[in-house]
Amino acid sequence: MVFLMVVSMVAVVPGGVIHHGSDVVSVEEMIEVLDEAEVVFVGEKHDDSFAHQWELFIWESLASDDRALALEMFETDVKPLLDLYLAGEITEDEFLAESRPWGNYPTDYSPMVEYAKENGYSVIAANVPRSFAALVARGGLAAVTGEPDFEGLSVDSSNTGYRERFLATMDAIGDQMHGMPVDPENMYRAQLLKDAVMAQSIQNMKVLFICGSFHSDYHSGIPDQIVSEDFLTVTVLGEEEEYSRDLADFVIIREGL
Protein backbone atom coordinates (compact mmCIF):
# COMPACT_ATOMS: atom_id res chain seq x y z
CA MET A 1 0.00 0.00 0.00
CA VAL A 2 2.81 2.42 0.83
CA PHE A 3 4.49 1.55 -2.48
CA LEU A 4 1.33 2.38 -4.44
CA MET A 5 1.12 5.74 -2.68
CA VAL A 6 4.68 6.56 -3.73
CA VAL A 7 3.96 5.75 -7.38
CA SER A 8 0.85 7.94 -7.35
CA MET A 9 2.91 10.99 -6.38
CA VAL A 10 5.16 10.93 -9.43
CA ALA A 11 4.55 11.74 -13.09
CA VAL A 12 1.52 10.32 -14.88
CA VAL A 13 2.11 6.75 -16.02
CA PRO A 14 2.65 6.68 -19.81
CA GLY A 15 0.60 4.23 -21.82
CA GLY A 16 1.81 0.94 -23.22
CA VAL A 17 2.19 -2.70 -22.28
CA ILE A 18 5.08 -3.94 -20.13
CA HIS A 19 6.52 -7.36 -21.00
CA HIS A 20 8.70 -9.18 -18.48
CA GLY A 21 9.88 -12.44 -19.97
CA SER A 22 6.74 -14.30 -20.98
CA ASP A 23 4.52 -12.24 -18.69
CA VAL A 24 2.73 -8.92 -18.97
CA VAL A 25 3.18 -6.99 -15.73
CA SER A 26 1.81 -3.84 -14.14
CA VAL A 27 3.84 -0.67 -13.77
CA GLU A 28 3.82 -1.18 -9.99
CA GLU A 29 5.30 -4.64 -10.39
CA MET A 30 8.02 -3.34 -12.71
CA ILE A 31 9.00 -0.46 -10.44
CA GLU A 32 9.11 -2.73 -7.40
CA VAL A 33 11.55 -5.08 -9.15
CA LEU A 34 13.67 -2.26 -10.60
CA ASP A 35 13.99 -0.60 -7.22
CA GLU A 36 15.90 -3.63 -5.90
CA ALA A 37 18.63 -3.41 -8.56
CA GLU A 38 21.86 -1.50 -8.10
CA VAL A 39 21.91 -0.34 -11.73
CA VAL A 40 18.86 0.12 -13.96
CA PHE A 41 19.40 0.82 -17.65
CA VAL A 42 16.63 2.40 -19.71
CA GLY A 43 17.34 2.15 -23.43
CA GLU A 44 15.77 4.65 -25.80
CA LYS A 45 15.61 5.78 -29.37
CA HIS A 46 16.88 9.31 -28.91
CA ASP A 47 14.04 10.97 -30.85
CA ASP A 48 11.24 8.91 -29.27
CA SER A 49 8.97 11.08 -27.10
CA PHE A 50 7.22 7.96 -25.77
CA ALA A 51 10.52 6.67 -24.41
CA HIS A 52 11.27 10.03 -22.79
CA GLN A 53 7.92 9.96 -20.99
CA TRP A 54 8.78 6.56 -19.55
CA GLU A 55 12.26 7.68 -18.54
CA LEU A 56 10.90 10.59 -16.54
CA PHE A 57 8.32 8.36 -14.88
CA ILE A 58 10.88 5.69 -13.98
CA TRP A 59 13.35 8.30 -12.70
CA GLU A 60 10.74 9.96 -10.49
CA SER A 61 9.72 6.52 -9.21
CA LEU A 62 13.26 5.35 -8.37
CA ALA A 63 15.09 8.59 -7.49
CA SER A 64 16.53 8.75 -4.01
CA ASP A 65 19.45 10.15 -2.07
CA ASP A 66 21.45 7.01 -2.83
CA ARG A 67 20.43 6.54 -6.48
CA ALA A 68 21.87 8.92 -9.08
CA LEU A 69 20.72 9.65 -12.60
CA ALA A 70 23.39 8.74 -15.20
CA LEU A 71 23.10 10.21 -18.69
CA GLU A 72 24.78 9.21 -21.93
CA MET A 73 23.78 12.68 -23.15
CA PHE A 74 26.48 14.52 -21.20
CA GLU A 75 30.21 13.81 -21.42
CA THR A 76 32.50 13.24 -18.46
CA ASP A 77 34.45 16.48 -18.90
CA VAL A 78 31.35 18.61 -18.25
CA LYS A 79 30.68 17.05 -14.84
CA PRO A 80 32.11 20.05 -12.94
CA LEU A 81 29.69 22.35 -14.79
CA LEU A 82 26.80 19.97 -14.18
CA ASP A 83 27.61 19.86 -10.46
CA LEU A 84 27.72 23.66 -10.30
CA TYR A 85 24.34 23.87 -11.99
CA LEU A 86 22.76 21.28 -9.71
CA ALA A 87 24.10 23.20 -6.71
CA GLY A 88 22.54 26.43 -8.00
CA GLU A 89 25.90 28.13 -8.43
CA ILE A 90 25.47 28.88 -12.15
CA THR A 91 22.39 29.53 -14.26
CA GLU A 92 20.91 27.10 -16.74
CA ASP A 93 22.01 29.36 -19.60
CA GLU A 94 25.59 29.33 -18.30
CA PHE A 95 25.49 25.57 -17.91
CA LEU A 96 24.09 24.86 -21.37
CA ALA A 97 26.44 27.33 -23.07
CA GLU A 98 29.47 25.21 -22.11
CA SER A 99 28.14 21.66 -21.71
CA ARG A 100 27.42 20.73 -25.35
CA PRO A 101 23.81 19.63 -24.72
CA TRP A 102 22.01 17.51 -27.29
CA GLY A 103 19.53 19.39 -29.47
CA ASN A 104 16.54 17.75 -27.78
CA TYR A 105 17.81 18.42 -24.25
CA PRO A 106 15.19 21.09 -23.37
CA THR A 107 12.22 18.86 -24.15
CA ASP A 108 13.52 15.36 -23.43
CA TYR A 109 16.26 15.37 -20.78
CA SER A 110 15.89 18.67 -18.94
CA PRO A 111 12.81 17.45 -16.99
CA MET A 112 14.87 14.63 -15.46
CA VAL A 113 17.78 16.93 -14.59
CA GLU A 114 15.41 19.53 -13.13
CA TYR A 115 13.74 16.88 -10.98
CA ALA A 116 17.17 15.93 -9.65
CA LYS A 117 18.08 19.57 -9.05
CA GLU A 118 14.83 20.33 -7.21
CA ASN A 119 15.27 17.33 -4.90
CA GLY A 120 19.02 17.38 -4.36
CA TYR A 121 19.75 14.17 -6.27
CA SER A 122 22.98 13.48 -8.14
CA VAL A 123 23.38 13.42 -11.92
CA ILE A 124 26.33 11.77 -13.66
CA ALA A 125 27.73 13.01 -16.96
CA ALA A 126 28.67 9.55 -18.18
CA ASN A 127 29.78 9.53 -21.81
CA VAL A 128 33.30 9.74 -23.23
CA PRO A 129 34.17 13.18 -24.64
CA ARG A 130 33.29 13.03 -28.32
CA SER A 131 36.76 14.20 -29.37
CA PHE A 132 38.23 10.96 -28.03
CA ALA A 133 35.53 8.83 -29.64
CA ALA A 134 36.28 10.55 -32.96
CA LEU A 135 39.99 9.79 -32.60
CA VAL A 136 39.26 6.10 -32.08
CA ALA A 137 36.76 6.03 -34.95
CA ARG A 138 39.54 7.26 -37.23
CA GLY A 139 42.55 5.45 -35.81
CA GLY A 140 41.46 2.68 -33.45
CA LEU A 141 42.11 2.42 -29.72
CA ALA A 142 45.81 3.05 -30.31
CA ALA A 143 44.86 6.68 -31.03
CA VAL A 144 44.14 7.28 -27.34
CA THR A 145 46.84 5.09 -25.85
CA GLY A 146 48.61 7.00 -23.11
CA GLU A 147 45.79 9.49 -22.56
CA PRO A 148 45.53 10.16 -18.80
CA ASP A 149 41.72 10.06 -19.01
CA PHE A 150 41.84 6.35 -19.79
CA GLU A 151 44.55 5.23 -17.38
CA GLY A 152 43.47 1.90 -15.94
CA LEU A 153 40.41 1.69 -18.21
CA SER A 154 39.52 -1.88 -19.20
CA VAL A 155 37.71 -2.43 -22.51
CA ASP A 156 36.01 -5.82 -22.86
CA SER A 157 35.60 -6.80 -26.52
CA SER A 158 34.59 -10.42 -25.98
CA ASN A 159 30.88 -10.14 -26.85
CA THR A 160 30.80 -11.34 -30.45
CA GLY A 161 27.03 -10.95 -30.73
CA TYR A 162 27.29 -7.27 -29.85
CA ARG A 163 29.99 -6.78 -32.46
CA GLU A 164 27.93 -8.54 -35.14
CA ARG A 165 24.85 -6.43 -34.37
CA PHE A 166 26.91 -3.24 -34.46
CA LEU A 167 28.59 -4.04 -37.77
CA ALA A 168 25.25 -5.09 -39.29
CA THR A 169 23.80 -1.74 -38.22
CA MET A 170 26.76 0.11 -39.72
CA ASP A 171 26.29 -1.79 -42.96
CA ALA A 172 22.58 -0.95 -43.01
CA ILE A 173 23.22 2.79 -42.61
CA GLY A 174 26.23 2.85 -44.91
CA ASP A 175 24.45 5.05 -47.43
CA GLN A 176 23.99 7.71 -44.74
CA MET A 177 27.74 8.03 -44.18
CA HIS A 178 28.08 10.10 -47.37
CA GLY A 179 31.23 8.36 -48.50
CA MET A 180 33.13 9.13 -45.28
CA PRO A 181 36.34 7.04 -45.12
CA VAL A 182 35.38 5.28 -41.89
CA ASP A 183 36.48 1.77 -40.98
CA PRO A 184 33.49 -0.02 -39.38
CA GLU A 185 35.86 -1.92 -37.09
CA ASN A 186 37.24 1.37 -35.74
CA MET A 187 33.69 2.67 -35.34
CA TYR A 188 33.04 -0.43 -33.26
CA ARG A 189 36.14 0.26 -31.18
CA ALA A 190 34.84 3.78 -30.57
CA GLN A 191 31.54 2.23 -29.46
CA LEU A 192 33.40 -0.02 -27.02
CA LEU A 193 35.29 2.99 -25.65
CA LYS A 194 31.99 4.77 -25.02
CA ASP A 195 30.60 1.69 -23.27
CA ALA A 196 33.69 1.27 -21.11
CA VAL A 197 33.81 4.94 -20.07
CA MET A 198 30.10 4.95 -19.26
CA ALA A 199 30.56 1.79 -17.19
CA GLN A 200 33.52 3.33 -15.37
CA SER A 201 31.51 6.47 -14.61
CA ILE A 202 29.02 4.47 -12.50
CA GLN A 203 31.43 2.08 -10.82
CA ASN A 204 30.27 1.18 -7.29
CA MET A 205 27.23 3.45 -7.60
CA LYS A 206 23.49 2.94 -7.51
CA VAL A 207 22.04 4.57 -10.62
CA LEU A 208 19.32 4.86 -13.20
CA PHE A 209 21.17 5.01 -16.52
CA ILE A 210 19.51 6.62 -19.54
CA CYS A 211 21.18 5.55 -22.79
CA GLY A 212 20.57 4.68 -26.40
CA SER A 213 19.00 1.23 -26.50
CA PHE A 214 21.93 -0.24 -28.43
CA HIS A 215 24.09 0.42 -25.37
CA SER A 216 21.97 -1.88 -23.17
CA ASP A 217 19.74 -4.14 -25.31
CA TYR A 218 20.37 -7.88 -24.98
CA HIS A 219 22.35 -7.11 -21.79
CA SER A 220 25.15 -5.93 -24.10
CA GLY A 221 27.15 -2.75 -24.46
CA ILE A 222 27.59 -0.97 -21.14
CA PRO A 223 26.52 -4.11 -19.21
CA ASP A 224 29.46 -5.96 -20.80
CA GLN A 225 31.83 -3.49 -19.19
CA ILE A 226 30.49 -3.25 -15.63
CA VAL A 227 31.80 -5.35 -12.78
CA SER A 228 28.52 -5.69 -10.88
CA GLU A 229 25.96 -8.25 -12.02
CA ASP A 230 23.25 -6.48 -10.02
CA PHE A 231 21.60 -4.70 -12.92
CA LEU A 232 18.33 -4.78 -14.83
CA THR A 233 17.44 -3.42 -18.24
CA VAL A 234 14.40 -1.72 -19.68
CA THR A 235 13.88 -0.92 -23.33
CA VAL A 236 11.12 1.15 -24.87
CA LEU A 237 10.39 -0.39 -28.24
CA GLY A 238 10.57 1.99 -31.18
CA GLU A 239 7.74 2.14 -33.69
CA GLU A 240 9.72 0.32 -36.39
CA GLU A 241 11.30 -2.26 -34.07
CA GLU A 242 10.35 -5.89 -33.82
CA TYR A 243 9.54 -7.20 -30.36
CA SER A 244 11.78 -9.80 -28.73
CA ARG A 245 11.54 -10.89 -25.11
CA ASP A 246 15.34 -11.09 -25.08
CA LEU A 247 15.80 -7.36 -25.71
CA ALA A 248 15.63 -6.47 -22.02
CA ASP A 249 14.32 -7.56 -18.66
CA PHE A 250 11.36 -5.27 -19.26
CA VAL A 251 10.21 -4.38 -22.78
CA ILE A 252 7.67 -1.56 -23.03
CA ILE A 253 5.50 -1.54 -26.15
CA ARG A 254 3.06 1.07 -27.34
CA GLU A 255 -0.50 -0.12 -27.28
CA GLY A 256 -1.53 -1.14 -30.76
CA LEU A 257 1.91 -2.40 -31.87
Helix axes 184-201, 160-172, angle to 10 degrees: 130
What pLDDT, on the 0 to 100 scale, is given for residue 238?
83
The predicted model scores a pTM of: 0.92
Q: Give the DSSP letter of residue 140.
A: -
Go through the domains of the chain in sequence order and give each one's CATH number.
Answer: 17-253 (3.40.50.11550)
Q: How far apart are CA 241 and CA 252, in angstroms?
A: 12
Q: What percent of the chain has pLDDT over 70?
A: 92
Tell me if residue 17 falls in helix, strand or coil: strand
**pLDDT (tens digit per residue) in 115-128:** 999 999 999 999 99
User: Rounded to the nearest 5°, which phi and psi values hold at 72?
Assistant: -60, -25
**SS3 label, residue 151:** coil
What distance in Å separates the CA atoms of residue 47 and residue 155, rounded to the nearest whole number?
28
pLDDT for 4 beyond 50: no
Q: Is 195 helix (H, G, I), strand (E, B) or coil?
A: helix
Which DSSP category does 134 fall into? H
Average confidence score pLDDT of the chain: 91
| 196, 155 contact by CB (below 8 A) | yes
The dihedral through the CA atoms of 178, 165, 38, 202 has a sign that is negative
Paired with 44 in beta bridges are: 212
Contact by Cβ (8 Å): 156, 113: no
Residue 7 predicted with pLDDT over 70: no
Which of 152, 248, 230, 229 lies closest to 196, judged by CA? 152
Q: Is the pLDDT of residue 37 over 70?
A: yes
Query: Per residue in 227-255, pLDDT tens?
Result: 888 999 999 998 888 899 999 999 999 97
Q: How many CA atoms lie within 13 A of 49 on its CB side?
A: 2
